[in-house]
Structure 1
Amino acid sequence: MDRETLISKWLDNNLNPVELEAFKQLEDYDDLVKLNQNLQHFEADDFNTSEALNNVLSAIKTKKPAPKNQWLKPFLRVAAILAVCFSLYYYTTTLNTTIETAFAEKTTIELPDNSSVSLNAKSVLEYNKSRWNTNREVSLQGEAFFKVAKGSSFSVNTSQGVVTVYGTQFNVKQRNNYFEVICYEGLVGVTHNAKETKLKPGDSFLIIDGKSIAKEKENRPTPSWLNNESSFKSMPYKTVLTEFERQYNVHIKLINIDDNQRFTGSFTHNNLEVALKSITLPLHLTYTKQNQTITLKRE
């Protein structure tokens, strides 16, 4: 059975079990269900339903009256199908796909052109699948590692800057007052405050609290967080702690500690006790735990 017939029978609640399974296999099944749920709140920009209905009713009145109610059901059915088809086209071409990770969660997705994106904890990625062939563009909140398939320009939009590439591997991290891009392969352009900086493999672009920070050459082939480890080189301690909170879904309190002091080291993502020792022993700190709250203290 073709797609249009399945949709029509679905609108009439007239699918048998076999047809229902076939309908669920449609590529845009999820979009159709969402559209059906929200259709009563949807209004296309240039389509006035009331005016169209009045025009049809006026035309009908000029003709010989049909038997009572004989025309109403077919008319409503056709009107509903036309409204759904029109709305579906508009809705699916403007609807964005959003992927979000929670605390202590990572995920990897494949984009329509076979580019891949790995999302770190507490991150959000958004893109438009319908327009992808003409507009390879994503929006990012958080941190992600990209492996971009060769092709047209590929852009990553963040609140602090835009990253543009043509086929490469790179990492983007955008958090509060923190923006970092590391190129692992190819050539990356980073636009920040209307100025573009080109990055070659191993180069980094880092802005903390609005200030540009110089970094050593990156020697790793991929970001450490892909291997469940967060690494830092002379980073403010508060940056380390906020990443720790994201990876373990905890809240950290400080007593007599300067969170702007610099920290060099790393912590694992899969062992809380080991991770705590990694971020406290180098600074001679002690810690206590109570439920999801961890208190760090300098004696």
Structure 2
Amino acid sequence: MRQLPVDQTLIELYIHGRCTATQLAEVRQYLHDPAYRESLQEWLHHDWQQLSHENYAPETDADEKYRQYLALVQPAPATPVKQISTIRWWKVAVAAVFTGIIALTGWRWQQHLRQRAFQEQQWVQLHNEAGKRTKITLPDSSQVYLDAVSSLQYNKNYGVTNRNIILEGEAYFVVKHGGAHPFSVQTGNLTTIDVGTAFNIRYRHTEPAIEVAVAEGIVNVMDHARPQTGVLARLTQQQQLHFDTATREATVQMLPDAESIGAWRHGVLIFRQQPLKAVAAALERYYGINIRFDSPEAARGVITTILHHSTVDEALDIVAITAGVSVKRSGKEVLIK
């Protein structure tokens, strides 16, 4: 009798309980048709060898069932009458044995899925306090420059089942290309998917917008609140997305140069037509100081300036001159009036 191959993918679907009625009928045919005997035996033997190398100890008599199965399906000469009897017995025995093996393999898969789910819940969490910035090398060799008062999370299966990052604060990413999974950064309802190389993301609960700027390459920005629309924006080099979290409106603009993107990681702070209150918040994070205003009017100014590797006193002096205010510092406490 010509032997036919079993569909191993179909068997795996059966193990996971995802068979359709048609597929289930095909699996049952494997058990009832001797033409699949050798192929089924080969698959069971291979799967059993895999199980024997894993650290599982299920409470089952599958070992004995498997020995019975091997004894039953070994080819041996037989008279036509005995062959009919053996085939009938084989149909029943293989069904029982296959069910036992399926139960064991199903148990193994359940354990694997439980372990994977447990690993998926394990997260590496990194946080920088005010005045602290760090450079992080991820498991796939991608690099992250994490700003002050910023948090980064990634799964312990990063690089294996995913390359997903969760960011709160500001970070500059230099992504390693390749791998089976896309590199993505989740910030609130937005997810930025890397198609290029280097980009900066700024997202804080205390600020009204999310900003994504591309230094090199391309990124796609997705809005989870509008799944039907797909890509919210596709950004190329020197483009910046400004996403208003309240109105959910997005605007894209060209930046004057790529070097200014993520310049904070090199000690350069750039402020373009920014309210003094926002500038003060940035200085608090960068230098680890506390700034307060003696009146609401003092915080309403708007300034444009660049701080190059400035000390805290130098930065405060430049802000005072540019905004036309007076600054008084005592340790970490700063008063602007």
What TM-score, normalized by structure 2, do the two folds share? Answer: 0.57
Quote how far apart the aligned CAs of 1:266 are. 2.4
Aligned with residue 217 of structure 1, among 236, 241, 255: 255
The secondary structure found in structure 2 opposite 1:264 is strand
With over 3 angstroms needed to count, the CA separation of the structure-2 counterparts of 1:237 and 1:190, relative to structure 1, is farther
Unaligned runs of 5+ in 2: 1-58, 60-111
Unaligned runs of 5+ in 1: 1-51, 53-84
- Correspondence list, 1:54-203, <5 A: 91-151=118-178, 152-175=181-204, 176=206, 177-192=208-223, 193-194=225-226, 196-203=232-239
The secondary structure found in structure 2 opposite 1:127 is strand
**8 Å CA contact retained: 1:161, 1:191:** yes
Percent identity, aligned pairs only, is: 25
- What RMSD over aligned residues (CA atoms) do the two structures have, in Å? 2.7
Question: Which residue is 1:275 aligned to?
Answer: 315
The secondary structure found in structure 1 opposite 2:303 is strand
The secondary structure found in structure 2 opposite 1:273 is helix
Larger Rg: 2
**8 Å CA contact retained: 1:99, 1:124:** yes
Quote how far apart the aligned CAs of 1:250 are. 1.4
**8 Å CA contact retained: 1:160, 1:179:** no
Question: Which residue is 2:330 aligned to?
Answer: 290
Question: More deviation in 162-171 or 260-269?
Answer: 260-269
Question: Which residue is 1:77 aligned to?
Answer: none
The secondary structure found in structure 1 opposite 2:313 is helix
Matches of 1:277 and 1:114, distance apart in 2: 40
**8 Å CA contact retained: 2:275, 2:301:** yes
Find out whether 1:266 has 2:312 as its counterpart. Answer: no
With over 3 angstroms needed to count, the CA separation of the structure-2 counterparts of 1:289 and 1:263, relative to structure 1, is same
Matches of 1:98 and 1:262, distance apart in 2: 36
Number of residues of Structure 1 aligned to a counterpart in Structure 2: 214
Matches of 2:145 and 2:213, distance apart in 1: 14
What TM-score, normalized by structure 1, do the two folds share? Answer: 0.64
- Correspondence list, 1:228-267, <5 A: 228-256=267-295, 257-267=297-307
More helix per residue: 1 or 2?
2
**8 Å CA contact retained: 2:149, 2:169:** yes
